[in-house]
A and B are shown apart, each in its own frame.
Chain A
Amino acid sequence: MTLGLALPAAAQTAGGTLRTYNTSNPPSASIHEEATVSVVMPFAAVYNNLMMYDAVKPKNSLETIVPELAESWAWDASRTRLTVKLRRGVKWHDGKPFTSKDVQCTWDKLLGKHPDAFRKNPRAIWWNNVKEVTLNGDFEATFVLGRPQPSLPALMASNLSPVYPCHVSTKDMRTNPIGTGPFKFVSFDSNSAIKLVKNTEYWKPGRPYLDGITYTIIGNRSTRMLAFAANEFDMTFVADVTPPMVADVLARSPKAVCETVPSNVSSNLLVNRDKPPFNDPKLRRAMQLALDRKAMNDILSQGKSAVSGPMLAPPAGVWGLSKEALAALPGYAGTPAERVAAARKIMSDLGYGPSKRLKIKVSTRDFQAYKDPAVLLVDQLNQIYFDAELEIVETSVWYGRAARKDYTVAFNLSGAGVDDPDVVLVEGYTCNSERNYTNYCNAQVDKLIVEQSQESDFAKRKLIVGQIEKILDEDAARPIILHGVGATCWHPQLKGLVLHQNSIYNSWRFEDIWLAK
């Protein structure tokens, strides 16, 4: 992390409109129906969750979860029923009262039970274990689970899991969202601006400090950085400043604060395990060994990215393997040169060599964040007797092709909404996950994922997660290359902003920040 100058503590001052920008036009305002941070960051301030990650604590974990619409919650003895006691006197932005029915409606939609269904439901898999939500009056709801899942609050606390009003249609929530949050939605002009205004009837006394927030939508990065330098914005979009650009931003704005944190977006190698010769585990092992993470890290992020397995490693992450444990895994042991030598030996044993290369296309999505590292991946594969060339896939068909396994080898980026194995491992590696693009299916891994999900003891759970990561590495299942980092910058007038280290999705309520006059 790179921290700016520590500023003396100051009393919060009310007033002012936070000016920031969005890097792309959000597809809609409905967080439940989207997965991109370009939706979450602007619109999370409109909503509340049942509980949330403490905005002033930099690391998301079960220990930093604080109440929001749920004043308290408790498990029953079997740990399959989570009862939440709801806050009274909370109103939706249109004046209607918040009740337990809204909680039930929200989760019915997530479970696909509600007639007014979500148009798309990207995190349906998060709630696979929730059977139903029952009500006990207007201010108590119980989540009935199929099996114990102590980490359920971790999923509920994410900015990706807000509570929706029962009385507003799903369609309207996409264009005119109503929440209970610290800011009310004012307008969303496509490709232009998003405006929020202070909720003067917010249930948290004295909050928010700001009068409003304006997001100007600017697609061009150079324009954004220049506008920030000209003090048109109080802060940049989250992780928008790449490590090489931080110095340039600070050169133009010496008093700005830039903080570089992991985004928990990992780059990973997809190999179609069903297509010969990639159904040969030795070949997949060779490809895994060819990954020179240090080179990619140095070239793309000045060495600041995190080297980790699927779970983000400490100190930023909670669940990832330590450096020492990682170094003992086959995919990470030794130096890059040693791993390349081992990879070449495997390829030679398989009949490949400098004059008999394996011709492949490495597919990747037509986005700069994908293309740059994919070029390096191609080069690294070519070091071990591949004849790889890059195939750029138009973004509109990328996930369709990935889902259909219409690729041989691909470079992908995967974001983690929550730093929890119930999200990262379930989405990426369980047999039936829509995001398991390699179709990796290991019954033992699935069993262990369920086992860790049911474990309430942190240390024991972490051991099981470590076991899973080892198996995934041994199986060369979607090897993780790097966990990316990005910097967020702000001018000194912005106070109280604390970036989360292990997710870019969960710190956007904006109720605790203020603008110094």
Chain B
Amino acid sequence: MGAYFVRRSALMLITLFGISVVIFVMLRLVPGNVTDIIFDSAGFVNEAQKKNIERELGLDKPITTQYVKWIGGLATGDLGFAYVSEKPAIDEILPRIPVTAKLAVLSLTFSIVLGVPLGVISAVRQNTTLDYVLRVISLSGLSLPSFWLGLLILMAFVHFTGWIPIYKSTPNEFWKEIALLSIPAAAVGFRSSALIMRLTRSSMLEVLRQDYIRTARAKGASDTVVNYEHGLRNAMLPVVTIVGVEAAFLIGGLIVTETVFNIPGVARFLVEAIRWRDYPIVQNLVMLIAVVVVVVNFVVDLTYVALDPRIKYES
């Protein structure tokens, strides 16, 4: 297992290096840089002033010099300065991470807590009215765009309660913040829960047809033991995989939700930074997201071992 850790760690570093090169190059391929945006907001272009700003920001240096400077800084914890706000990039990024992390965890929790049990119920009650209803609900979850659902939720709250669950400033209490974030989390998590529900259902159906399930029933095991201890545990492997994938793609779903619910999180900030070509923010945020995705996938791989003792990662 130790050798596996070392191998995986090396692979992660190589992956992250590759991502850093890709994001660095892609940003420079996109038309315009921050000076274009800075002048765009003023409705004019002055080439001399533009060149001065580029010089000030180091954008006139060779591309390899810019890359080495960034990566060197990243390795030492110096994320540079945001081009737009002129504040240290770490001061811009750090406060946003907890908000998005809470939102992401809540969304995933919602999707698992809703998706897995409903998937089991749907599988166990296959072809009943309840199964059909749950499948229609899951289909709507997959079909409804989260931004539309988010706006619908906001409209419903305003109409029925006169209150709008948007972020205006960080609530003083932790549980108040969790309560506020649970609404957008539900909007995002609904789609994921639909996917998890359908996958759990199909995986359970396959497992419930296995011989050992029939044996367990023949031995007199209760439905609860058969479905959850024998059935669900073996059905969870593909579900764990999809949860890992969903966690990785969650940032995409959070962009729209953070915009609709006005949450000052990482996702919305990333989109704004891309629009502004704020290279230090974009590059560092993408690397952060890459680290999260890579680590989540690593954790998912380790979970397989916990779920299925036959799986061993050997050197």
Q: Which residues of A contact B (CB under 8 A)?
A: 25, 27-28, 33-36, 119-122, 171, 174-175, 188-193, 216, 218-220, 222-223, 226-227, 229-232, 252, 394-400, 403, 414-415, 434-435
Contact = CB atoms under 8 A, between A and B. Distances in A.
B54 to A, nearest CB: 11
A122 to B, nearest CB: 4
Contact of A415 (B32, B43, B158, B261): B43
Nearest to A230: B164
B22 to A, nearest CB: 21
Contacts of A231: 162
Contact of B87 (A175, A226, A399, A434): A175
Contacts of A119: 38, 49, 52-53, 56
Interface string B194-219: 00000000000000000000000000
Interface in B240-287: 259-262, 264, 268-269, 272, 275, 277
Contacts of B33: 396
B133 interface: no
27 contacts: A25-B84, A25-B272, A27-B38, A34-B41, A35-B43, A35-B44, A119-B53, A119-B56, A122-B42, A122-B44, A190-B269, A192-B264, A216-B262, A226-B158, A227-B164, A227-B262, A230-B158, A230-B162, A230-B164, A232-B166, A394-B32, A398-B40, A399-B39, A399-B40, A403-B44, A435-B43, A435-B44
B123 to A, nearest CB: 38
A121 B46 contact: yes
Interface of B: 31-33, 36-46, 49, 52-53, 56, 82, 84-87, 92, 151, 154-155, 157-158, 162-164, 166, 168-169, 259-262, 264, 268-269, 272, 275, 277
Given A120-B38, A226-B154, A399 B44 contact: yes
A394 B42 contact: no
A106 to B, nearest CB: 18
A460 to B, nearest CB: 31
A120 B277 CA distance: 18
Contact of A121 (B49, B56, B162): B49
Given A190-B85, A191-B269, A220-B260, A36 B31 contact: no
A395 B40 contact: yes
Nearest to B86: A175
Contact of B41 (A35, A229, A434): A35
A174 B38 CA distance: 13
B42 A34 contact: yes
Nearest to A396: B32
Given A191-B268, A216-B169, A227-B262, 19 more contacts: A25-B272, A27-B38, A35-B41, A35-B42, A119-B49, A120-B39, A190-B269, A216-B168, A226-B158, A226-B164, A230-B157, A230-B163, A232-B166, A395-B37, A396-B32, A396-B37, A397-B31, A399-B36, A399-B44
A226 B154 CA distance: 7
Contacts of A190: 82, 84-85, 87, 92, 269, 272
A216 B169 CA distance: 9
User: Taking each of B37, B166, B259, which has the highest tally of chain A beta carbons within 10 Å of its own beta carbon?
Assistant: B166
Contact of A227 (B37, B166, B259): B166
Contacts of B86: 28, 171, 174-175
User: Taking each of A121, A219, A252, A396, which has the highest tally of chain B beta carbons within 10 Å of its own beta carbon?
Assistant: A396
User: Taking each of A27, A216, A394, A415, which has the highest tally of chain B beta carbons within 10 Å of its own beta carbon?
Assistant: A27
Nearest to A402: B45
A503 B32 CA distance: 31
Contacts of A189: 264
Given A397-B32, A400-B45, A434-B45, A220 B164 contact: no
A320 B162 CA distance: 45
A27 B84 contact: yes
A145 B254 CA distance: 55
Nearest to B31: A397
The 9 A-B pairs of least Cβ separation, nearest first, read A396-B32, A122-B42, A230-B164, A35-B42, A403-B45, A192-B264, A434-B44, A396-B36, A27-B41
Given A218-B262, A232-B166, A120 B42 contact: yes
Contacts of A252: 158
User: Taking each of A192, A227, A434, which has the highest tally of chain B beta carbons within 10 Å of its own beta carbon?
Assistant: A192
A375 to B, nearest CB: 22
Contacts of B38: 27, 119-120
Contacts of B82: 190
Contacts of B41: 27, 34-36
Contacts of B155: 226
A33 B42 contact: yes
A25 B269 CA distance: 10
A399 B158 contact: no
